[in-house]
Amino acid sequence: MEIADVFILEEAAVDLENGRLFYEERQPGLGDYFWDTLLSDAESLVVYGGIHAKAMGFHRMLSKRFPYAIYYEVKARSAYVVAVLPMRRDPKWIRGKLGERS
């Protein structure tokens, strides 16, 4: 399936900002690298959108550089990023976050 557009929903943008702040506290500049990397991963959905296995009702793409997953839906040739969540969290927490967004 060809994806024409990628949209990052408001809740996912908040997830990205929380991740950026987390990594920035660990090392100055790392937060910006996290942000750029995860945005690039999300933008790659134009090419790879829809090929990822589903987890908890959403397609799930794993980031190659950070332990994060991008959860998204595909509708009418568009990918909608609904969450960007750390994979090191309790699976119940992840399920809860995704449940709030479905």
pLDDT of 53 > 90? The answer is yes
Each residue of 60-93: pLDDT tens digit?
A: 999 999 999 999 999 999 999 999 999 999 999 9
Q: What is the pLDDT, as a whole number, of residue 43?
A: 95
46 alpha carbon, distance to own chain's centre? 14
Instruction: Decide: 71 and 82 in contact? Cβ < 8 Å.
Output: yes
Where in the sequence is the domain holding 11, given as residue range(s)? 5-101
Q: How many domains does the chain have?
A: 1
CATH number at residue 68: 3.30.2310.20
Q: What is the pLDDT, as a whole number, of residue 54?
A: 96
| For range 34-57, the mean pLDDT | 95
Q: What angle do CA 63, 68, 73 make, to 5 degrees?
A: 80
